[in-house]
Every structure is written in structure tokens, then in C-alpha cells.
A and B are shown apart, each in its own frame.
Chain A
Amino acid sequence: MGQIRIGRILAYAAMVLVAVVILAPLGWMITMSISPTKDLTSVPLPWIPSALDFSRYQRLLTLAHNSDGEVFLYALRNTCWVALGTTLLATLFAVPAAWVFSRAGRDLRWLLYLIVGTYMLPPLMFVVPLYRILSSFDLLNSPWALMVADSTIVLPFTTWLLKSGMDNIPVDLEEAGAIDGGKLFRILRDITLPLARPVLGTTLLFSALIVWDEFLYAMLFTSDSRAQTLTVVIANLASGRVSDYGLLSAAGVIAAVPPVLVGLILQRSIVSGLTSGGVKG
């Protein structure tokens, strides 16, 4: 019994350690975002702010001409726009294809693997040709450019995710529809898609997360607030000569809130999705 007790105490100590390691940098980022600038540039560094200063959030979230807020809010808008557009477009193209991949089984597996295999390629493989294509269509520095570019990452991923999800939907229901003389498209729309709603939701959220995180294409294909995304604006702020760490932290906190919320929503589907497959298999 003594051995078990020591084991549990060690396990709780390990849990506390993991929690502290995760929370410390996050907590410090939030603390910096509300500390007076004077605190953040003093030695020894005070860990508890001498006063609460929410002015950075105010600055970032106020739309005034030529201000940090203008740059930031436009970037927020662009990011939302690109995330929404890419996600919807990618899903639109991936749904019918994923259905075919799911139902065709072994026949088309090579093609699916070929598509998923492109995930291995670094985005830098596509950058120069994409740049030429986008500039020939005069799309550079527009959210459309990023929707096209981000599709190179999102499309293979959504196809794979949707295909795995549809594998769990029984074929019998579709066959009943086919006997009634339903056309393929109608079977997909009326029978499969309503059943695939949970995996569709998961896929949409996952692709939005990928787009929210994307940096390289956004840095190369955009040049001003018409299309620049949050990641580019934050990277620019971070490498600036004169840095207000509080402002940087506040920008980071705001940019992190939506994806973290999405991640927490997805949490259940990540773990339960993986485990339900295991139980059935």
C-alpha cells in the first residue's frame, strides 16, 4: 500500500509540474498585456503588475486612422475572411470527392494517398510558381490570393478527414436510396450529408485553425492592410526595433483566443473520434 501511495504522490507532483509548465508562459503573456510599460522594462522585473493597464487592448481594438488599431483590426478582418472563404471552398470541393474515396475503397486508395502525401511537401515548394500564377491573375495582395494558396494545405487535409468520417456511415442506407432510383447527387445530399454533419463540423473547424495559423504565404503574397493577416502583423510587431512588449502580448492574446476556443470545442471530437475507432476496430 505504501508503494501505491508514493506512486500517486509522484503522479500528482508530475501533474502539477505539467500544469505549471503550460500555464507559466501563457500567464506571463496575459500579465504583460496588462502591466504598465514601466514595469516591463525594469530590473528586477516585478512579477505582479504595479497597476492594471488595459490601454493596449483599447489601442488595438479602436479603429483610428494610421494607428496600431487600424492595422490590427484590418488584419483580424482579413484573417476571418480568408479562414471563412478557404474553409467553405475547401469543404465544397472535398465533400463529393471524399464520399467517392470512402465508397470506392481500395480502387482509388492510390489517388487518395497521392493527395494526402502532398502534406509532406514544404509550402516553399509551391511559393514561386504560385506567386507567378497569382500575379498573372492580378490577385496578389488580396484575400483571394491567400484562399488559393491556403487551399494547397487545407484541401488534402479536409479530403482525408471527411473520408475517414464518412467511412463510419453505413453504406446500407445509401443503397436503400439507390434502389428508389435516387441520383448520386441526391443520395449524397439527402442521405449521407445529414449523417456526416458531425464530421463536417469538425472538418470546418480544423481547416479554420490551419488558416488562422498560416504565415508564410500571407507574408509573401500580401503587402498591406488590404490583405495582411494577423500572423504577419504580429510577426512584424515582434521584429520591430522599438517593441512595446505589452502591446505585443495583447495582440498575441487577442489572436490566440479564437483558435484556443475552437481547440477546446474540438477536444472532445479529437479524443472521442480516435477512441471510438479503436473500440470498434
Chain B
Amino acid sequence: MDLRGRLLLLAPLLVVLIAVIGWPLLDTVWLSFTNAKLGTMSGDFVGFDNYLRAFSAPAFQKALGVTALFTIGTVGAEMLIGLGVGLLLDMDLWGRRFLRGLLIVPWALPTVVNAMAWRVIYNPDFGALDALLHQLGFIDQYRSWLGDTNTALIMIGLADIWKTFSLVALITLAGLQSVPRDLREAAEIDGAGPFARFRSVTLPVILPPLTIACVLRTIEAVKVFDIIWVMTKGGPLDSTKSLSILVYEQAFSFRHAGYGASLAMLSVALTVILIGVYSRAVRMQGVN
């Protein structure tokens, strides 16, 4: 394919991407160094002031903590549960096709619908969770799961895990099906126990897809906005206010477009750091 032909075929996409992604991105980077207000947008260059302000702001530190906790908690749980369910579905069991189809449903459910459904289930007056726990005798009184600073983030995390563990399970399953059967049988004949077989035959094959799943889930979790917005809007007392919610609040409720942009940049930095940590961990696994 000649250069002219390539350019001609690439050009439409590149022009659109520069218009809808490239330009807004540069604009946001620039905004993060200004004190621009939403609406007027004629801000002055303030250097790294917004970033310095963020690092000393308790609200940012808290949001960073909430986001990190949410990310590590949900991604960790999703990887473990997903791996377990993937392994389960790889066994020769009756009904596995049905369960595999069922796994698609939470994955395909719109995030907002999922958030709404769990919000209703957690409802402190007539919610199904309180009703179930009360009728089974686990609690004496109805509790406000999303109204309690100790439980709100955990309950949102559970709703998120319910929706997304299935993706990890499907990726695991797809990876497992590419493990050569004769290799597994050979390992079995050699007298390797189930754990040794998993380590030496299965794990090397499913580690690459699992790493990809983990990176994708981490990116999504750091960006988390929809589910928290619909369930708590960041409350009670900021206990579920993630970085994205904080950016939204700063940029749109308080109209600090410049400061909000710098916070968005910092949330990207968090994603980059987490992915860096993973790729290091995976590389070390490879060395061993």
C-alpha cells in the first residue's frame, strides 16, 4: 500500500479524532494551568498552582483515597471471583452453557440501571436487603446502607462487583479453552496434583488475558462516576466522593474549570501509576 493511499484512508479518522479528542485534550491540559471559571473561560496562567492546591486540599486527598480503595477493592474481588467462576465453567458440568449465558446479563445491563436497581434494594425504608436480613433474623432494625459513612462505599462496590465480575469470568474461560488438553492430561499422568497442574499448565496460559482484564477493569474503576452518581452523588459526608465526582463538582457545581481540569489530570496519573505497578508485577512473574 503506497503512502498516498494510506494517508487518504487514514485522514478522515485522524481529522475527526483531532477535533473531538486531540483538541479538547490539549485544551484541558492548558486549562489545568489557568484559573479559568466555567462560563467566562478567560483565565490567567497560574503555573502549577492548581496542582499544588490539589495536593494540599483535604478534599482531594480524601477523593484519592476513596478512588484507590474502590479500585483496589472492586478490581481485586472481580479478579478473584471471575477467576473462580471461569475455572468452574471450564469443568465438564451440566448446565454450564446456561450459566455462561447468564453471565452476559449483568455485563450487558446498563450501568445506570444497575445502580438504580441496587439503590432501591438498599433503600432504608422498604429495601429488599433490609427485608431479607430482617426476616432471616440477621438484623433487628432496618439500616440505611447508603446513608452510613461506614457502609456506603462498600455497598456501591458490591453493586459494581456484581455487574463486572462476569467479564473477568468470560475472559478467563476463553483463555482456559486455549489450554491444550493433552498438556493437562500429560501433567495429570505425570502425577502432578491439582494445584501444581494449575500453576504450571493453566496459569501461564490464562495470565496474559487476565492481565489485560485487570488493566481494563482498573482503568474503568479509576474513572468511576455513573454508579456513584446515581447511588449517592458522593455522599454521605463525602464518604463515596471519588476523583471523578470531585472533578464534576469543582468544574460544574463550583465552576472552577481550571482547578477541575488539574484534578482530572491527576486522576489520569493515578491510572498510569496503577498500570505501571501491574506491568512490573507481571514482568517479575515472568522472570520467576
Contact = CB atoms under 8 A, between A and B. Distances in A.
Contact of A42 (B126, B134, B247): B126
A267 B9 contact: no
Contacts of A148: 20
> Max chain B CB contacts within 10 Å: which of A45, A122, A230?
A122
Interface in B137-157: 142
Given A11-B93, A231-B110, A275-B174, A238 B23 contact: no
B259 to A, nearest CB: 11
Contacts of A26: 105-106
B251 A128 contact: yes
B156 to A, nearest CB: 14
A209 B108 CA distance: 8
B117 to A, nearest CB: 5
Given A155-B13, A267-B100, A270-B174, A129 B28 contact: yes
B226 A152 contact: no
Interface stretch (A14-22, A56-64, A65-73): A14-22
Do most interface residues of chain B lie in helix, strand or loop, or is the interface mixed?
helix
A274 B167 CA distance: 13
Given A18-B88, A275-B178, A264 B104 contact: yes
Nearest to B134: A44
Contact of B223 (A8, A28, A123, A248): A123
A44 B229 contact: no
A190 to B, nearest CB: 15
Interface in A198-244: 209, 212-213, 215-216, 220, 230-231, 234-235, 237-239, 243
Contacts of A260: 104-105, 108-109
Contact of A262 (B16, B101, B108, B117): B108
Contact of A11 (B91, B103, B108, B225): B91
Interface in A29-79: 29, 32, 40-45
B16 A238 contact: no
B35 to A, nearest CB: 14
Contact of B115 (A28, A149, A159, A238): A238
B203 interface: no
Interface in B55-96: 84-85, 88, 91, 93-96
Contacts of A6: none
B254 to A, nearest CB: 13
Contacts of B110: 212-213, 230-231, 234, 255-256, 259
> Max chain B CB contacts within 10 Å: which of A32, A97, A129, A252?
A129
A257 B285 CA distance: 42
Contacts of A125: 24-25, 28, 261, 264-265, 268
Contacts of B9: 96-97, 99-100, 184, 188
B33 interface: no
B14 A263 contact: no
Interface residues of A, number: 88
B106 A22 contact: yes
A274 B117 contact: no
A1 interface: no
Interface in B100-141: 100-113, 115-121, 123, 125-126, 128, 131, 134-135
A45 B93 contact: no
A230 B251 CA distance: 24
Contact of A274 (B88, B103, B162, B174): B174
Contact of A151 (B20, B111, B116, B166): B20
B105 A234 contact: no
Nearest to A98: B13
B166 to A, nearest CB: 8
Contact of A12 (B21, B93, B271): B93
A127 interface: yes
> Max chain A CB contacts within 10 Å: which of B219, B264, B272?
B264
A82 interface: no
Contact of B102 (A22, A243, A279): A22
Contacts of A103: 1
Nearest to B232: A239
Given A15-B88, A97-B14, 18 more contacts: A18-B88, A44-B135, A45-B131, A97-B9, A99-B9, A124-B248, A124-B264, A125-B24, A126-B28, A128-B38, A128-B260, A130-B20, A149-B20, A152-B24, A220-B252, A230-B110, A260-B109, A263-B107
18 contacts: A22-B103, A22-B105, A25-B118, A93-B13, A96-B13, A97-B10, A104-B6, A120-B272, A124-B248, A126-B28, A128-B27, A129-B28, A132-B27, A213-B111, A260-B108, A263-B108, A266-B104, A270-B170
Pick the 4 closest A-B CB pairs, nearest first.
A278-B178, A263-B108, A129-B24, A274-B174
Interface of A: 8, 11-12, 14-15, 18-19, 21-23, 25-26, 28-29, 32, 40-45, 93-94, 96-97, 99-100, 103-104, 108, 115, 118-130, 132-133, 148-149, 151-152, 155-156, 159, 184, 188, 209, 212-213, 215-216, 220, 230-231, 234-235, 237-239, 243, 245, 248-249, 252, 255-256, 259-260, 262-264, 266-267, 270-271, 274-275, 278-279
